[in-house]
Amino acid sequence: MSKTDILYNGACPVCSREIAHYRRLSAARDLPHRYDDLADAENLRTWGVTADDAAKRLHVRKDGRIYVGVPAFIALWEDLPGYRWLARFVKLPGVFHVARWTYNRILAPLLYHRHVKRQRKGA
């Protein structure tokens, strides 16, 4: 299995809970996964993205390619025991389009809006 890097928003309660779950699965199976929090400026330099772009969508780097959004989840789920079926299901043409639309139009903007709101409160 090739190395998989995951860039996520550790300040997002929903994101950090989900990533913590994936991290436990990765550790239990000794998977070659690295989890990078976007709060670390060095991670952002390595990934070549801004903190704002990274906060908008999940990013996964695997086999030399960067996946963003639903394709990133699929790339990660393909490695995780118990989630491979979900990766195969979400890749189905109709399901993929609905999942991508829902993530891009509803879920990701909602989480990003909450992220921006938390950032303003902390400033």
Domain ranges across the chain: 4-122
Residues 6+ apart with CB under 8 A from 118: 11
| pLDDT of the residue at 123 | 55
Question: How does the average pLDDT of the chain come out, rounded?
Answer: 95
Q: Which residues of the chain have pLDDT under 70?
A: 1, 123
Query: Would you say 9 and 115 are in contact if contact means Cβ atoms under 8 Å apart?
Result: yes
Q: Extract the tokens encoding 106.
A: 């509803």
pLDDT value for 121: 87
What strands, in cross-sheet order, belong to the sheet with 59-62?
33-37, 4-8, 59-62, 65-68
Note if the pTM is more than 0.75: yes
pLDDT score of 119: 87
